[in-house]
Structure 1
């Protein structure tokens, strides 16, 4: 069984050609009219939201940047810079006296002014998920039922919404900021300010102006096709293997009534999601009929590489919360690179940049 441990990753070497891995040599973007004149975007700040497929997306950015020897802003500790604090420039490990970097991919809350100082002229990207499914995912993954003292009831989420303020304010509630409007929280709005409609309006207005591209988790492949064109990347650049797949033991069935309660509880996230979901579909319409051909092209490539790489008879359950894939024994280097997650890529990046 080919589990990818950190020790083997640090010894992992991709085959190189002109300083780049063979599997990742960049090619000009093709269009129906010939070679595109756009230049690939190589400086990206990814605002990593919680439980939105953000780990899978982070690994796409990390594979792209690592394979091209681009620089990453990493924290001084783990792969999480901070889940609670707004980004500050002194959070970044200054590798080899470097003060500016190409990529930010690890968890830290949005703070545009400080980010600009470390990642100048970057493209800002994030991903959002329907607040109902995002809340249910967070509820199971972060074990909110345990924090609220309702772990042993038949319907923990339904029970939570019998008196959400009471359970939410239980002393010692773990990861509380992710239990209500967690996505707008990651994008900078403090929990204690979320009842102020004027402050929310101002933050939302700023995000509309400042975020360059927002993916929608429910339409992940659709979003990637659009992102590929926005960044002037190639099909191979956006291939992926899903990460952080939640174990079925921490999934919940939700009644229609509870879904409405979740939407009301996460009303700010719903406004955010609805706006950017509509924006996504507007972009698809503007793309034209060729979008569906390009989506089919991408999903065909994606299916082929996943069939080649994934051993469907095995699963990695080393983290009890997750049910992750295992690559085939004699898989190509591209498969091994696609299988690396955020923690593993960050370890490789830290080692390369002398940030250990």
Structure 2
């Protein structure tokens, strides 16, 4: 990373790194020193179903359509067979314990309980905040406090919403099968779910008031910006892209293009795993 990144502008420094990258604190320290480290986890069941659908794993593995079983069920029933069809390292990381891989566990070690525990413990020491995607608004309120931001800084429009054709129902059997395949991810999620709610409790009595204020702002923004009756299917028919109202305010375009509405004073940056 340090070798390939362009140097910051004269008299400035990188102060955010937001990237899909397996976590390595030592490497990131070379780019952003004395950073605050943040990541996000999602319940393994929801995450795995999302990966299978959005990444079109059924097409990649040539799983034939079956009227009695959906492709996801067929995959979960025959993972040993379908795994033999995976011939690239990227898809191998997607289909088993992807989240703990991103936190720093090598793929070949996901069945080693000692190394799994070591990576989880190390992550506990190195990350200042682990957000939970299943509680996204609550996570952003915690993030706002940690970084001394304002509500306006965490406003967001939902993007990359998966096309409904790429969604699969989850029954009890699928849920248990997913958890069997992703034991290390589930252990990671359970470990960080508890301290997440301790941080909510430590926030104090104002947490629920601030959460309600934030959600009111989100609702107002959505009603002013988003055309609920229209969306665009893009990215190889994978996602339903947000469509703005014809008369939407200028700030709506900023949010739609940039995601987090981070003000200019906080934008001389590239990223989000690490924030200074």
Give your verdict on TM over 0.5.
yes
Q: Which runs of 5+ in 2 are unaligned?
A: 263-268, 271-276
Q: What residue number does 2:246 align with?
A: 329
Confirm or deny: 8 A CA contact 2:86 2:92 kept in the other structure: no
Q: 1:91 to 1:180 in 2, by over 3 A?
A: farther
Superposition deviation, residue 148 in structure 1: 2.6
Which of 58, 65, 90 aligns to 1:145? It is 58
Q: What residue number does 1:298 align with?
A: 214
Q: What residue number does 1:195 align with?
A: 111
In the alignment, the residues of structure 2 paired with residue 255 and residue 115 of structure 1 have an alpha-carbon distance, to the nearest angstrom, of 40
Deviations 1:260-300 (A, max 9, x none): 01011111111111121111111122223321111111100
Which of 101, 121, 136 aligns to 2:14? It is 101
Q: Quick check: which one's strand share is greater?
A: 2
Correspondence 1:204-283 to 2 at 5 A: 204-283=120-199
Q: 1:169 to 1:94 in 2, by over 3 A?
A: farther
Confirm or deny: 8 A CA contact 2:111 2:184 kept in the other structure: no
Which of 72, 78, 82 aligns to 1:163? It is 78
Correspondence 1:81-120 to 2 at 5 A: 88-96=1-9, 100-120=13-33
Q: TM-score scaled by structure 1?
A: 0.68
Aligned length: 258
Q: 1:98 to 1:151 in 2, by over 3 A?
A: farther
Confirm or deny: 8 A CA contact 1:147 1:172 kept in the other structure: no
Superposition deviation, residue 222 in structure 1: 0.8
Confirm or deny: 8 A CA contact 1:99 1:118 kept in the other structure: no
In the alignment, the residues of structure 2 paired with residue 293 and residue 172 of structure 1 have an alpha-carbon distance, to the nearest angstrom, of 50
Q: What residue number does 2:87 align with?
A: 172
Superposition CA RMSD, Å: 2.1
In the alignment, the residues of structure 1 paired with residue 56 and residue 242 of structure 2 have an alpha-carbon distance, to the nearest angstrom, of 23
Local SS of the residue matching 1:89: coil
In the alignment, the residues of structure 2 paired with residue 171 and residue 284 of structure 1 have an alpha-carbon distance, to the nearest angstrom, of 41
Confirm or deny: 8 A CA contact 1:100 1:118 kept in the other structure: no
Confirm or deny: 8 A CA contact 2:138 2:211 kept in the other structure: yes
Local SS of the residue matching 1:315: strand
Structure with bigger RCO (C-alpha 8 Å, 6+ apart): 2
Q: 1:171 to 1:299 in 2, by over 3 A?
A: closer
Confirm or deny: 8 A CA contact 1:89 1:118 kept in the other structure: yes
Q: Which runs of 5+ in 1 are unaligned?
A: 1-87, 346-351
Q: TM-score scaled by structure 2?
A: 0.87
In the alignment, the residues of structure 1 paired with residue 13 and residue 94 of structure 2 have an alpha-carbon distance, to the nearest angstrom, of 30
Q: 1:91 to 1:299 in 2, by over 3 A?
A: same
Q: 1:306 to 1:331 in 2, by over 3 A?
A: same
In the alignment, the residues of structure 2 paired with residue 293 and residue 120 of structure 1 have an alpha-carbon distance, to the nearest angstrom, of 35
Confirm or deny: 8 A CA contact 1:316 1:324 kept in the other structure: yes
Confirm or deny: 8 A CA contact 1:184 1:272 kept in the other structure: yes
In the alignment, the residues of structure 2 paired with residue 241 and residue 278 of structure 1 have an alpha-carbon distance, to the nearest angstrom, of 28
